[in-house]
Amino acid sequence: MKPVEWREGVVRLLDQRKLPTSEEYVDVRDAVEMAEAIRALAVRGAPLLGIAAGFGMALAAGGSRARGAEGLLRDLDRAGRVLVASRPTAVNVAWAVHRVGGVAREAVSGGPEGVRRSVLEEAFRIAREDEASCAAIAELGMALVPTGARVLTHCNTGALATGGCGSAQGIIAAAHQAGRNIHVWVDETRPLLQGARLTAWELQRLGIPMTLVADVAAGSLMARGLVDLVIVGADRIAANGDVANKVGTYQLAVLAAHHGVPFYVAAPTSTIDPVIPDGGAIVVEERDPSEVTRPFGVSLAPAGTAAANPAFDITPAQLITAIVTDRGVARPPYRQTLGRLADRPNEASSAPPVRTQASA
């Protein structure tokens, strides 16, 4: 299953709005269409958004009519701004745009075709690195999951959200494959039910024992001693370890702290934003209130009901037991440990260029 795939100048997206009832695909041909697909949640998950943004920049480069490299750079800059504005909380979009833009500037001496080639190669490299990153997170995080563990997870952090096996869900899958005999409690994740629609779908395909629960059941499960650890992903991690993730994560962290349950976050180092000092500086995306009052077109509230729809919340670092990254497991004090991990070289980034054919 490939949620994002380059096909000779077109990016094919598995439309995650349609899952689990049908597997449909969307063809994206330029950066504006990619930004809309990101905004509409046809493609989602912080690491995968970075990959999608990278390919969005490649589409912009390929579709630019600029005759010179400088004009192409201006077109890429405009495309980058459109992509970054699509979802302001997830740092991976801006990270990928900045990274691809930097490579483009370095390739100016090769003319417009040199820039186009370098941009596409960098987009593929981002995708390949995330696949390796997922494998590293799974291997490192598996040590935190004891045999027989009952794991609670929130939202979706598997192959649908990344370029590989997943972040938090990658750890879960690795523990299952290692014979740890685990069981997963899947939060439904309102209002758009990413847990019920996507995580449950993926875990079933992997044969991992799971039970879907309403978001409001998490506290009672912990009170009954039925949760051994919580593992979630992240959309942005501040320099001090505060984490922005799908709304509902913060209350899980509070409940876990109250009940003495370890609370883990799993994310690639690309999700660490060292420029953001703490969670108070993270912009939380506000989405259409109708996603709360009329999810999937089904009215749940009286007509005219006012609703708020924050897509994310901020979990303070002091509630987080550890943050599992592709470069190591960070523990408090996060400002020091995350800083060291972010500064460590990424081995995948020094690998040779990848093929850019559709089969790559």
Q: Which residues are catalytic?
A: 235
Question: What is the tally of helices (H) and strands (E) in the chain?
Answer: 12, 14
> Identity (one letter) of the amino acid at 62?
G
Strand partners, 6: 11
Contact 311, 246 (CB under 8 A): yes
Contact 16, 195 (CB under 8 A): no
Burial call 17-31: b when 16+ CB within 10 Å, e when fewer = eebeeeeeebebebb
Does 333 sit behind a cis peptide bond, omega within 30 degrees of 0 on the bond before it?
Answer: yes
Q: Name the residue among 152, 326, 358 with its Cα closest to residue 237.
A: 326
Q: Residues with Cβ < 8 Å from 216, sequence gap 6 or more?
A: none
Contact 182, 145 (CB under 8 A): yes
Distance CA 234, CA 312 (A): 10
